[in-house]
Amino acid sequence: MVQLVGSLRKELADSLSVCRVLVVGAGGIGCELLKNIVLTGFKNIEVIDLDTIDVSNLNRQFLFQKKHVGKSKAQVAKESVLQFCPTANITAYHDSIMNPDYNVEFFRNFMLVMNALDNRAARNHVNRMCLAADIPLIESGTAGYLGQVTVIKKGLTECYECQPKPTQKTFPGCTIRNTPSEPIHCIVWAKYLFNQLFGEEDADQEVSPDTADPELSWNPADTEARAKASDQDGDIKRVSTKDWARSTGYDPVKLFNKLFKDDIRYLLTMDKLWKKRKAPLPLDWLELQKLTCPQEVTGTGLKDQQVLGVAGYSQLFSRSVETLRSMLADKGDGAELVWDKDDPPAMDFVTAAANLRMHIFSMNMKSRFDIKSMAGNIIPAIATTNAVIAGLIVLEALKILSGDVEQCRTIFLNKQPNPRKKLLVPCALDPPSANCYVCASKPEVTVKLNVHKTLVLALQDKILKEKFGMVAPDVQIEDGKGTILISSEEGETEANNSKFLSDFGIRNGSRLQVDDFLQDYTLLVNVIHCEDLAKDVEFEVVGDAPDKAPTPPSAQAEGKNVANGNTDSAEPSTSSKVPAEQNDVLIVDSDEEEPSSSAMDVSMESGGHKRKLHDAETGEASAKRQCLGQPSADDDDIIALD
């Protein structure tokens, strides 16, 4: 007769009491998960989270109370969970999981790792660490009413990076600056404007009219005069936006007239832009203040869901500028502000500026609630979804600790029942992808770039760190001499940063060996020289290039990416980008015996710590199983809407 301890077999209960597990993230899913695992019988738990508790977390992260605001999530979660089970041994780290202290040896201390993260960079990193340590990983994510749990096991399943995910959706600079046609364009412009005025200036986030717009090709001689902005109302000379704003003392009226009158008049002189578009309508501060009618408001319900009139947003713009000016002054000379969706003055500024620009370009204005959702790449977080997903994580953990990894599944939580009347849909885990640049036995990628224009620093930061998710890469040129191009040791190769790749003899067909010792990860990079990349494109990752080493017979790389973004954690989302609306049905007509073709891109995979990235779009949809309406892969980094 089977002995039971509670609802578990005695052998399994004994295993839970002695095994060490790591929970990464103590936010929406993390709180529910910690509560679940101590009540299930886990006794040795370590939890890590860099974030602190915000008042906006309290509606769904039930381990926290108002008195905890400002404190470490990991530490408070530990204290709260110990009230459920005082005998548990819990260690809390208020830190980033990407800190080099948490190396492969650290991960090898655990029998199981459970992710409750909200951003792609950290997910990629934990995926690689678990591959290198050969430790099972349970990945999870939620997006509103949608959720997903999957298991990653080296050599048995896809890893988190087996299925490529699109980068964050970006828009051409000329669209943002000259010809916005959607509300998101105006919201991006307003966020750029905040940084240009109050934050860290970025040349790639310019907000002034773009005279280099390729659509223009206009002859200045044929245009009478550019908009003449007076010195009082804000000059439109191409000087630093922040310097100009400082020279006016951040005067709200001068800022308003420059941004919404003078710059718009300047745009109107670019007459070719408006031959097939409705021209923008400049706003004037004094004219708006003459409006005697009461401030119009549309929409009912909560204040954040109401839409003010243009006069109301002009006043909100003025008030927010004055508040931000004071905040900047309080921080002292040379200080900068950081935009945060949970900072009321910053959110007021972006809401007002975005709506004023929408009005100018004849778009329907949006509520603060809608703008916050789009500006933060966020969708509402649902406490119930977090609870369901946390429960599913524990069920998968019990399978792993019982030695039944082959019984693990990728499980999707749908918003609406599928044709089989199921909200929870389990799918068999996919095998490792032969094309994965992370978990293939010999990871290899081909990158197309211009060796005469690509700096060593760009290779390090934009390609190796940003694109391929490395933390501290070392790069050696396979030139027969073992030339070190980039070293992770401080000061060794910094002199190379400002040089071009061609300065080191790198040309078409060159090969670079890249090692990240923290992640125990090696990648071979094949370089293809190209002089005709698209405008503003610095490099492309290509697949199956002619000079690429032959690949083993491919495991079917099918699959899509499902919403993965937990909800609440400290780290900003890297990537991504969540569409304004999500599809409701994740999987149609699926059953357990079919491959998961993992929408979440989470699955673990073979081959040591080496991996391979080919083509960014290698995945093919499974012919056997129809996965319809899966949310965009960008949902990877969904942050909870507070």
Is residue 378 marked as binding?
no
Does residue 354 have a known ligand-binding role? no
Catalytic residue among 31, 174, 408, 627: 174
408 labeled binding residue: no
Alpha helices (H) along 24-182: 28-40, 73-82, 104-107, 120-133, 173-177
39 in a known ligand binding site: no
User: Taking a C-beta distance cutoff of 8 angstroms, is the pair 153, 112 a contact?
Assistant: no
* DSSP percent split of the chain into helix, strand, coil, nearest 5: 35, 15, 50
Partners of 476 in beta bridges: 484, 513
Is 147 a known ligand-binding residue?
no
C-alpha–C-alpha distance, residues 231 and 258, integer Å? 10
26 is in an annotated binding site: yes
Per the annotation, does 627 bind a ligand?
Answer: no
120 labeled part of a ligand binding site: yes
The answer on whether 159 is annotated among ligand-binding residues is yes
Residue whose pair of structure tokens reads 């100009």 in the numeric block:
244
- Is 130 among the annotated ligand-binding positions? no
9 in a known ligand binding site? no
The token pair that represents 465 in the structure block: 């760190």
For 484, phi then psi, to 5°, come to -85, 115
CB atoms within 10 A of CB 458: 18
**Cβ contact 604:617 at 8 Å:** no
219 is in an annotated binding site: no
DSSP conformation class of 529: E
Q: Can 174 be counted among the known catalytic residues? A: yes
25 is in an annotated binding site: yes
- How does 535-549 read in b/e, with b if 16+ C-beta sit within 10 Å? eeeebebbbebeebe
Q: Token pair for residue 564?
A: 């993965």
Whether residue 96 is annotated as binding a ligand: the answer is: yes
Determine if residue 29 is labeled as part of a ligand binding site: yes
What's the token pair of residue 464? 């190796």
Residue 186 labeled ligand binder = no
Residue 506 assigned as binding residue: no
d(CA 164, CA 613): 8
621 is in an annotated binding site: no
Known binding residue 249? Answer is no
The CA distance from 375 to 388, in Å, is 28
Asked if residue 277 belongs to a known ligand binding site, the reply is no
Q: 525, 540 in Cβ contact below 8 A?
A: no
DSSP letter for each residue of 581-631: S--S---BS--TTSB---TB-----SSTTBBB---TT--B--SSSB--SPP
Residue 586 · residue 629 · CB < 8 Å: yes
382 annotated to a ligand binding site: no
Instruction: Detail the residues annotated as belonging to a binding site.
Output: 25-30, 49, 57-60, 73, 96-97, 118-123, 159, 162, 436, 439
Residues classed as catalytic: 174
Instruction: Detail the residues annotated as belonging to a binding site for Zn(2+).
Output: 159, 162, 436, 439
Instruction: Detail the residues annotated as belonging to a binding site for ATP.
Output: 25-30, 49, 57-60, 73, 96-97, 118-123
